[in-house]
Structure 1
Amino acid sequence: MAIGEDLLWDAADKGTRTRARLRRLAVTAGCAGLFVLVLWAYSDSTWAACAAAAYVLAEISYRVWDRRRLVEVQIVTGDADSRVTLRLRQADGRTTEHDPHHVTRVLIIHDNVVHSAKLRLRLRGKRVLRGRPGRPPSLTTWRSACPTAHVRERGAWWGMPGIPD
């Protein structure tokens, strides 16, 4: 088993992107508000208000979903006992530690357009944890860190138009 603090997953973007998301939300809400004011006098513009509200709800739900994505997975050994744990850090900064034997599946999906990969990690009795895109990691490190997990990789199911897969 891997000894020391090895980095198993490292996302390319670890920030919460709050400023860009708030700016985009403010510009969209302002444009939709101006659009509603212009059309309010001439026709029924409730569809524009509903579309703006639907956009705001979609942006909020994406933010909630994105905050739970993994940005870092590390192997950490304890000081007193040589017990190995996995430290999972999410995009919102929350860190949890899990036993490597509780990992049941590790799937790494390679993007065939850009040199990056996505991570899907399933823990025993819990749902799938997804990682933000990052550099493709080595599968041998995952296999040695999580000996009971089914570790595999696959290519993405999409391709570029005009280029045969």
Structure 2
Amino acid sequence: MAAGEVVLWEADDKSMRMVPRLQRMGVTAGLLCLLGLLMWSASHATWALYAGALYLLGEIAHWAWDRRRLVEAHIVPGEADGPARLRLRRVGGRITEHDAHRVARVLVIYDNVHNLARLRLSLRGRPLLFGRPGLPPALTTWQQACPRAQVDDRSAHWGMPGVPD
């Protein structure tokens, strides 16, 4: 982190998670092949091919969506005393910089089960950006960094596990 940078968001897990994904895909493919071979004698094995293809498409779609999620958000001073810039880093490693005044809305969703928070960041003229779970940030830092943004927080929709009081 360079001098003058302020951390706005930092995810707990910044990795691509490729090893668990490949293990999950290998186990699923092996089980589908085994079930397909067992069902081959009755010639009803085509469902295994369709299930495998659908699973593979779902896994590819999740991987593509996960690569675009945010893992870091920093506010960096502008060049030559210019306006501050918002530096966003995604899971795939892509780093983009945006004007801090283009941030339209910041929503932090607190998870009351795991003491983590999720980030929803909306930039003017861009699609909604999702952040991986991380430690809850200070909302005052977001308000100071992005003065034109609507900064909100809310609790998650799910409750605590166990018996309610």
| Same fold? TM cut 0.5 | yes
TM-score by length of structure 1 reads: 0.93
Q: Could you give the per-residue CA deviations for residues 27-52 of structure 1, whole angstroms, max 9, x where no partner exists?
A: 21111112101111124121222111
Give the number of aligned pairs. 163
Structure 1: any 5+ residue segments left out of the alignment? Answer: none
Structure 2 counterpart of 1:66: 66
Structure 1 outlier segments of 4+, above 6 Å: none
Q: Could you give the per-residue CA deviations for residues 97-135 of structure 1, whole angstroms, max 9, x where no partner exists?
A: 000100000000000111000000000011110000000
Counterpart residue type for residue 53 of structure 1: A
Cα distance in 2, alignment partners of residues 121 and 151 from structure 1: 10
TM-score by length of structure 2 reads: 0.93
User: RMSD of the TM alignment (CA)?
Assistant: 1.6
Structure 2 counterpart of 1:154: 154
Q: Could you give the per-residue CA deviations for residues 68-92 of structure 1, whole angstroms, max 9, x where no partner exists?
A: 0000000111353343100000000
Structure 2: any 5+ residue segments left out of the alignment? Answer: none
Structure 2 counterpart of 1:117: 117
Structure 2 counterpart of 1:142: 142
Cα distance in 1, alignment partners of residues 99 and 160 from structure 2: 39
Shift of 1:157: 0.5
Cα distance in 2, alignment partners of residues 84 and 53 from structure 1: 47
